[in-house]
Amino acid sequence: MLLAGQTTSREIIESVATSISTKNEELGGYLSSDLERALIEAEAADLAGPLGGIPIALKDNINALDHPCTCASHFLENGYLSPYDATVSTRLKKAGAILYGRTNLDEFAMGSSTENSAFRQTRNPHDPERIPGGSSGGSAAVVAADMAVAALGSDTGGSIRQPASHCGVVGLKPSYGRVSRYGLVAFASSLDQIGPLTKTVEDAALLLQVIAGGDDLDSTCIDAAVPAYVANMSDGVEGMRLGVPREFFADEGLDPAVRTQVEQALAQLESAGAELVEIGLPSTSFAVATYYVLAPAEASSNLGRYDGVRYGQRVDEGSGVIEMYRRSRAQGFGPEVKRRIILGTYVLSSGYSGKYYLKAQKARTLIQRDYQEAFRTVDAIVGPVSPAPARRIGKFADDPLQDYLADVYTISANLAGICGMSVPCGYVERGSSQLPVGLQILGPHLGEHTILRVGRAWEMIRDGE
């Protein structure tokens, strides 16, 4: 990401535009883009900023003034132009970045495959018959396919890290409260975080530097100092203690080829001076169930605002306001969104909320404690991102539960509020395709500098730097 005279903002944008015009029809990473406007903004770009003149793609659930924000939903498909900038959009613009493109996602960020987009399927650049992952599948695919320099996504149960792993790019989920959620269309307010998807760990650190920090507009955003991430990332892993959770490597469920890639990376980290320490995260066995109570519950509340009144699609057949709500929502939402709203409503409903929602909140405490305990003895935790490489599109069409179960390694980080990153660590052969595998690095709350350090060290080992 150098603008040091070797190229110009205009040239970068033109290169992105060419790439989009040749690849987006097949890969479908973008839902919309406005390269002409970007070129105009490039002329006036403040190159002195940390992202001066750099085009950054946004997942289509992050508001940017006058841009669409479809959330890949029919509900917001037509005629919604953002009336405001998300805080991350404001910060990117202030740093000189140019916002030009909106990437595809699972509808309202619900999913792990981008199959739940109401508009189109995004395809994995490494094998177009396979998913890019989700829900930030568009952001991961455009970075992987050189259709973008970098992108922002959002992660509620793994939605940055898993697509990053499937597409072979870097994806970082900050700690809860590290980055403002103001302007991110809310899915689960106690789990959501915005984060970068990039080619390199350094680029992720740069983007995080720009977007992190306190915000008066988001009372869940923590007003803690933002360290100088880039300056302190290259210290290497010598002397670091890296926890290896035995539950993440249990025989059942983890694809042997994925295990091999991850274990090889761990061995190389050990040779570089890290100490590998086996740890236990027993709450792994109930993390997915906990999430699929809490996240749908919060979503059912957050998606109550889509009622056809003030924005989005309204279906008014003259039979009164309740029917307007019922029909607008029925026609605006896709099946996965409906399922989660119903599930969330159920676990919050009278007679059931104690059994499910309150119970899950207590389970969440146990999950958070497991990580707090672990980080007393290790600096970071390492393991796989996903039990298998990218699956074929359509494989679990009738059985959403199978996709839920595959969230097992990423999901507890959101419940605990800690930070995590996926860095490419190898490939798995499937047929004639080489499918990327990510190494997941988890760090304590506000420990992004630690996971960036491990990630950068791994990159240097991997690339023989």
Partner 1 sequence: MSESQSEAGPEIDVAYVAGLARLELTEQEAARFQQQLGNIVAFVDTLSSLNVEGVEPTAHPAPLMDCFREDQPAAGLQRDHVLRNMPDSALDQVRVPKVVDS
Q: Annotated active-site positions, please?
A: 59, 135, 159
Residue 32 touching partner 1 (CB under 8 A): no
Identify the sign of the CA torsion 336, 342, 345, 348. Answer: negative
- φ/ψ of residue 353, rounded to 5: -70, -30
For residue 80, state whether it binds partner 1 (rule: CB under 8 A).
Answer: yes
User: Side-chain half-sphere of 165: how many Cα atoms within 13 Å?
Assistant: 35
By rule CB under 8 A, what string of x and - marks binding of each residue 149-178 to partner 1? Answer: --------------------------xxx-
Q: What is the CA radius of gyration of the chain?
A: 21
Rounded Cα distance, 87 and 106, in Å: 22
Q: Per the omega criterion (within 30 degrees of 0), is the bond before 349 cis?
A: no
User: Within 10 A of 276 (CB to CB), how many other CB atoms are there?
Assistant: 16
Q: What angle do CA 449, 404, 410 make, to 5 degrees?
A: 10
Q: What is the chain's length? A: 465
21 binds partner 1 per the rule CB under 8 A = no
Residue 228, interface with partner 1 (CB under 8 A)? no
CA distances (Å), origin 302, targets 105, 236, 268, 279: 18, 42, 44, 36
CB of 33 to partner 1, least distance (A): 21
| Of the candidate residues 37, 74, 314, 462, the single one contacting partner 1 (CB under 8 A) | 314
Judged by CB, which is closer to partner 1: 224, or 272? 224
Residue placing its CB nearer to partner 1 in the complex, 412 or 422: 412
Question: 349-408: which residues touch partner 1 (CB under 8 A)?
Answer: 349, 355-356, 358-366, 368, 398-401, 404
Binding to partner 1 (CB under 8 A) within 414-443 occurs at 415-418
* Residues between 45 and 74 with contacts to partner 1, criterion CB under 8 A: 65
189 touching partner 1, by CB under 8 A: yes
- Shortest CB 176 distance to partner 1, Å: 5
Which residue number, 132 or 308, has a Cβ lying nearer to partner 1?
308
Residue 316 binds partner 1 (CB under 8 A): yes
Footprint on residues 290-309 left by partner 1 (CB under 8 A): 290, 292-293, 300, 304, 307-309
Name the DSSP letter for residue 195: E
Is 346 one of the binding residues for partner 1 (CB under 8 A)? yes
Residues binding partner 1: number (CB under 8 A): 74
Cβ proximity to partner 1, 83 vs 273, nearer residue: 83
Compute CA 53 distance to the chain's CA centroid, rounded to the nearest angstrom: 24
- Is 374 within 8 Å of 243 (Cβ atoms)? yes
